């Protein structure tokens, strides 16, 4: 056990904050102290009651006083549930301290794990001692239920202590790990794409500029422009919108790679699905075509759902109860059914022949709108569907042009309730076609010299995609606003904490 109990000195410290002073010594480390912390999740899942008392450390969720004793629900964030602690009035500090065990106070309890009399719990703890480690007061905002999500965003530093957000951030952590496990077990190398970059992957998009220039008095050129040669990087620099182009570099060396890092969009849009800062996963595979790419994307999405169900069962159950009643059935459904695939051309036929009235009628060559994507996934196919081979005119310069000259090997994976969750493509590996595309998109070959080099020296067919991590979390938790699956969300006007 790595952690030592920290708390009042048994010899009698005068402050509830007192803790043992690290010894001043030179030499090998001391043997671990005898009684170490037990996490609530381990206590609740104990196969048998340990002979010795256990040490629990956490926060009071609720307290109920009865005649002769109090019930304290102690939560330490290790799992959704708290453990019920019974503090009898025979404890020496009961009379003095039990009133301080308010919702939000931190406590340290030593006691015996005993079979619970109550329903829905296997074990409870009979306290042999309890100590208030840190007090709180009536201003603690999480005392009552029924706060709005909007209010909880304003106290993003406290909301992880609530049931909902504890569950969200445990799932976020577990799914991030599942991402790494999925790729590492397939032999993919994890690549840290640069965050600050002078290139703009999409050839468009709204960028955050990164600078150390004095905003009020930037150095100027003789022509009267800001002199970015004197900025930190010697030129304009931005926050990345995608690590794809850099991932391609590594796929063309290590074969199979993935990125997982923050990406940024300076879009001034206040929707429930957009944030200025979000995490993206971008695998890239050499010697892989669009079909291999679709295979991987589908396998990946299923893996994440399966992993969450296996490792976050209690948290998902909570979401199914309090956030989205259809959640568990939907996840089950997605796992059981094979995903569908449908070319863009067929998708247009399906949409136009559906007999529906559309807010945005489409013909071949138009972008699919949210209403069309949701119709395909939720009503027509009734399951996740990958739409592929989009019109060349709709897509960025790097996508591989098909033999028809009109479509590119793009793919979008659409899921019920969310819409697009993955976008990807086979990349254009032919130097001549790529140069044409750059020219067509009015991009300079000079800016992409190294990207073109990949096609000059041992070019290979390759493909990849991007999964927005937060969108996946919204899908798996049923949480409807991206702000509520990010620890500290960044949106227009918001960079608090």
Contact between residue 411 and residue 427 where contact means Cβ atoms under 8 Å apart:
no
Sign of CA dihedral 102, 103, 108, 111: positive
Q: Residues 134, 322, 358, 393: which binds a second copy (CB under 8 A)?
A: 134
Beta bridge partners of 259: 191, 282
Of the two residues 154 and 326, which places its CB atom closer to a second copy in the complex? Answer: 154
Is 209 a residue that touches a second copy (CB under 8 A)? yes
Options 62, 129, 481, 494; binder of a second copy; rule CB under 8 A: 494
Residue 173 within binding range of a second copy, rule CB under 8 A: yes
How many Å apart are CA 455 and CA 472, to the nearest integer?
Answer: 33
Q: Does 86 bind a second copy (CB under 8 A)?
A: no
Looking at the Cβ atoms of 3 and 89, the one nearer to a second copy is 3
The C-alpha atoms of residue 410 and residue 433 are separated, in whole angstroms, by 16
**Residue whose token pair is 């969720």:** 61
* Three-state secondary-structure class, residue 162: coil
Minimum Å gap between C-beta 68 and a second copy is 26
Confirm or reject binding of residue 87 to a second copy (CB under 8 A): no
Query: Least separation, in Å, of the C-beta of 266 and a second copy?
Result: 5
Confirm or reject binding of residue 461 to a second copy (CB under 8 A).
yes
For tokens 């595309």, name the residue. 437
State which residue, 114 or 497, has the beta carbon closest to a second copy.
Answer: 497
Strand bridging mode 256-264 / 189-191: parallel
Among 444, 394, 402, 443, residue whose Cα is nearest residue 426: 402
Tokens of 404: 């028809």
Q: What tokens appear for 381 in the block?
A: 């196919």
Residue 210 in contact with a second copy, rule: CB under 8 A: yes
Work out the number of other CB atoms within 10 angstroms of the CB of residue 171. Answer: 24
Among the listed residues 10, 11, 14, 29, the single contact to a second copy using CB under 8 A: 29
Among 261, 391, 423, 480, binds a second copy (CB under 8 A): 261
333 is written with which tokens? 């459904």
CA distances (Å), origin 469, targets 91, 284, 301, 309? 49, 16, 11, 17
Per CB under 8 A, which region of 36-44, 88-96, 302-310, 416-424 contacts a second copy?
36-44
Contacting range for a second copy; rule: CB under 8 A; set: 63-71, 86-94, 175-183, 317-325: 175-183
**Stretch 185-204 residues interacting with a second copy (CB under 8 A):** 186-187, 189-199
| Cβ neighbours around 120 below 10 Å, total | 6
Q: Is there a contact between 201 and 238 (Cβ–Cβ < 8 Å)?
A: no
Residue 246 binds a second copy, judged by CB under 8 A? yes
Q: Return the structure tokens found at 410.
A: 């793009």
Between 273 and 341, name the residue whose CB sits nearer to a second copy: 341
Q: Does 268 bind a second copy (CB under 8 A)?
A: yes
Choices 122-130, 228-236, 359-367, 436-444 (CB under 8 A): range interacting with a second copy: 228-236
Candidates 44, 59, 63; CA nearest to 113 is 44
184 binds a second copy (CB under 8 A): yes
What's the number of CA atoms in the CB half-sphere (13 Å) around residue 426?
24
Q: Which of 83, 105, 113, 152 binds a second copy (CB under 8 A)?
A: 105
The nearest distance, CB 117 to a second copy, in angstroms, is 27
C-alpha to C-alpha distance for 414 and 382, rounded to whole angstroms: 11
Please, which residue, 105 or 308, has the CB nearer to a second copy? Answer: 105
Measured from the CB atom, the residue of 306 and 341 that comes closer to a second copy is 341
Placement of tokens 């295979």 in the chain: 295
Nearer to a second copy, 89 or 221 (CB): 221
Chain positions 47 to 66 lying near a second copy, rule: CB under 8 A, are: 57-60
Exposed e or buried b per residue across 93-107, where buried means at least 16 C-beta atoms within 10 angstroms of its C-beta: ebeebbebbbbbbbb
- Told to check if 149 binds a second copy by CB under 8 A, we report no
The number of residues that bind a second copy (CB under 8 A) is 156
**Which range, of 45-53, 82-90, 170-178, 413-421, touches a second copy by CB under 8 A?**
170-178
Q: Which of residues 357-376 bind a second copy (CB under 8 A)?
A: none
- Options 131, 266, 362, 394; binder of a second copy; rule CB under 8 A: 266
Catalogue the E-assigned strands of 48-152: 54-66, 69-75, 83-88, 106-115, 123-134
Instruction: Give the span between the Cα atoms of 452 and 430, in whole angstroms.
Output: 9
- Mask 400-439, x = binds a second copy (CB under 8 A)? --xx-----x-------------------xx---------
Quick one: which of 69, 123, 130, 264 contacts a second copy (CB under 8 A)?
264
Q: Which of residues 283-342 bind a second copy (CB under 8 A)?
A: 285-292, 294-296, 298-299, 338-342
Q: Does 484 bind a second copy (CB under 8 A)?
A: no
């Amino acid at each position: 056990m790595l952690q030592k109990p920290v708390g009042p000195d048994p010899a009698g410290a005068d402050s509830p904050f007192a803790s043992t002073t690290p010894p001043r010594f030179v030499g090998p480390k001391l043997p671990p102290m005898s009684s170490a912390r037990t996490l609530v999740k381990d206590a609740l899942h104990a196969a048998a009651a340990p002979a010795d008392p256990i040490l629990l450390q956490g926060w009071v969720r609720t307290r109920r006083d009865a005649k002769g004793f109090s019930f304290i629900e102690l939560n330490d964030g290790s799992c959704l549930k708290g453990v019920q602690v019974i503090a009898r009035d025979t404890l020496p500090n009961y009379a003095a301290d039990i009133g301080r065990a308010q919702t939000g106070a931190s406590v340290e309890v030593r006691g015996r794990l005993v079979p619970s009399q109550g329903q829905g719990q296997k074990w409870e703890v009979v306290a042999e001692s309890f100590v208030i480690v840190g007090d709180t007061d009536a201003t603690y905002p999480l005392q009552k239920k029924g706060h709005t999500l909007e209010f909880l965003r304003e106290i993003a530093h406290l909301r992880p202590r609530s049931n909902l957000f504890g569950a969200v951030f445990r799932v976020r952590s577990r799914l991030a790990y599942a991402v790494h496990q999925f790729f590492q077990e397939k032999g993919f190398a994890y690549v840290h794409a640069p965050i600050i970059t002078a290139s703009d992957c999409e050839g468009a998009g709204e960028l955050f500029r990164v600078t150390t220039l004095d905003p009020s008095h930037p150095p100027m050129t003789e022509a009267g422009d800001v002199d970015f040669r004197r900025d930190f990087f010697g030129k304009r620099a931005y926050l990345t919108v995608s690590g794809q182009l850099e991932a391609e570099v590594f796929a063309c060396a290590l074969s199979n790679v993935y990125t997982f890092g923050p990406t940024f969009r300076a879009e001034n849009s206040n929707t429930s699905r957009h944030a200025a800062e979000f995490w993206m996963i971008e695998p890239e595979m050499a010697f892989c075509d669009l079909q291999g790419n679709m295979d991987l994307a589908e396998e990946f999405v299923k893996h994440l759902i399966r992993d969450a169900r296996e490792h976050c069962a209690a948290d998902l159950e909570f979401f199914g109860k309090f956030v989205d009643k259809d959640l568990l059935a939907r996840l089950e459904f997605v796992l059981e059914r094979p995903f569908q695939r449908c070319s863009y051309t067929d998708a247009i036929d399906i949409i136009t022949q559906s007999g529906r009235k559309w807010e945005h009628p489409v013909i071949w060559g138009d972008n699919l709108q949210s209403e069309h994507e949701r119709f395909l996934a939720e009503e027509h196919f009734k399951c996740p569907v990958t739409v592929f081979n989009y019109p060349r005119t709709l897509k960025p310069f790097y996508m591989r042009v098909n033999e028809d000259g009109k479509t590119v090997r793009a793919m979008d994976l659409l899921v019920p309730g969310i819409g697009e969750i993955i976008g990807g493509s086979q990349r254009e590996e032919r130097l001549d076609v790529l140069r044409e595309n750059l020219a067509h998109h009015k991009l300079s070959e000079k800016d992409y010299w190294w990207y073109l080099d990949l096609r000059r020296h041992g070019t290979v067919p390759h493909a990849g995609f991007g999964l927005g991590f937060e969108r996946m979390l919204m899908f798996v938790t049923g949480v409807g606003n991206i702000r509520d699956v990010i620890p500290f969300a960044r949106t227009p006007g918001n960079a608090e904490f």
